[in-house]
Amino acid sequence: MNKIPVITIDGPSGSGKGTVATLTAKDLGFRLLDSGALYRSLAVSAIKREVNLEDHQQLADLARCLNIEFDLFNSGSVWLDGEDVSLSIRTDIVSKAASLLGTIPAVRTALHEQQLAFRKEPGLVADGRDMGTVVFPDALVKIYLTARLEERVQRRYKQLIDKGIDATLPLLLRDLKERDAKDSERPISPLKPAKDAVVLDTTDLQVDQVVQLVMSIVRDRLAS
C-alpha cells in the first residue's frame, strides 16, 4: 500500500479546481499535478507534429514520451520539449482537442502511468476529472468542486482575458457546455464525483473560502 498522502480535487472547467489545488498544495508543502495540463500538452504536441487525432496508437505513443516540465508554483508555467507552452495550452482549439484526447482509452492508459509518477514525498495534490475515481482511488481526501454553469463561464472568461487570450462569453458558454457533455458522457473515466468524495458547490464562495474548507477537511483527515 502506498503511504504517500494524495488529495484529489476533481470537477468541471471553471469550478476553481486548478486555483484551489495550487493554493492547497502550497499550504501543505505538497507536490502538485495539474492533470488537465498533461492532456492539453499532449494536444499541443499532436497538433504541432500533425498527428491525426484518429490515430490512437500514435497518440498513445506520443503520450508515453511526453517531455513535460511544470513550474506551477513559481511562474505557473508549463514546458513542453523545452518550449514554454503555458499560453498555447489554454487556447480554444487546444481545449477542444484535449477533451477529445480524454475520450481515447489508449491515451488515458499512457497518461495514467505518467500521473502516478507524481506521487512523491511529502504528498501530492492532484486536480482533474478522474483523480479520485481512477488514478488515485486510495487518496486520503477526495474533493469534487462544482459551480453553476454561468458562474464557471464568467470565471473562465476572466482567466483567459487576464492571460491576454481572446474570448467571448457566448462562445465560451457553448464550448463549456460541449466540453462538460463530452467529459461527463464518455464511457471511460467520465467526469463524476467519487463515491467517497466531498462535493462542494463553489458558486457563491470566494477562492480563499474554498481553500479554507478544503484545508480543514485535509487537516482533520491527516490528524485522524
**What does the binding site for ligand DC look like in residue numbers (CB under 6 A)?**
13, 35-36, 39-40, 98-99, 102, 128-130, 179, 183
Name the minimum Å distance from CB 65 to ligand DC.
19
Give 152-155 contacts, CB < 8 A, sequence gap 24+: 152/12, 152/13, 152/14, 152/15, 152/176, 153/14, 154/14, 155/14, 155/16
Name the minimum Å distance from CB 130 to ligand DC.
5
Contact (Cβ atoms closer than 8 angstroms) between residue 122 and residue 3: no
Nearest alpha-carbon partner for 146 in 184, 182, 111: 184
Q: Which of residues 75 and 224 has its CB atom nearest to ligand DC in the complex?
A: 75
Q: Which of residues 38 and 140 has its CB atom nearest to ligand DC in the complex?
A: 38
Name the minimum Å distance from CB 224 to ligand DC.
27
Q: Which of residues 101 and 140 has its CB atom nearest to ligand DC in the complex?
A: 101
Tell me whether residue 151 is exposed, middle or buried, using C-beta atoms within 10 angstroms of its C-beta: 0 to 12, 13 to 18, 19 or more.
middle
Contact (Cβ atoms closer than 8 angstroms) between residue 187 and residue 102: no
Name the minimum Å distance from CB 137 to ligand DC.
13
Q: Which of residues 39 and 118 has its CB atom nearest to ligand DC in the complex?
A: 39
